[in-house]
Amino acid sequence: MVVDHHRPYPNAGKPWLASDLLFLEIAARRGMSLTRIATFLGREEGEVRDKARKLETLLGKTES
């Protein structure tokens, strides 16, 4: 993977693609850290954390 040091989060603030949401859900369920997920998606960790929380709410998750 090529890292652009001028834009460490190339997808930050951009709309989420369905494939990104699917990756987030699957990776989180498999125990991947938010840091690794964020790096893979090119987003800030806080943005990924917020989206994960919203997904949990939308999907009716009760697990912590």
DSSP state of 14: S
Phi, psi of 38 (to 5 degrees): -60, -45
Percent of residues, the chain, with pLDDT higher than 90: 69
pTM of the model: 0.78
Task: Convert the pLDDT of each residue in 7-60 to its tens digit.
Answer: 789 999 999 999 999 999 999 989 999 999 999 999 999 999 999 999 887 766
Task: Dig out the tokens for 1 from the structure.
Answer: 């993977």
| Residue 64 scores a pLDDT above 60 | no
pLDDT in tens, 5-22: 567 899 999 999 999 999
pLDDT the model gives residue 7: 72
Q: Compute the distance between CA of residue 24 and CA of residue 20 in angstroms, rounded to an integer.
A: 6
Cβ–Cβ under 8 Å, residues 54 and 36: no
Beta strands in 1-64 (DSSP E): none
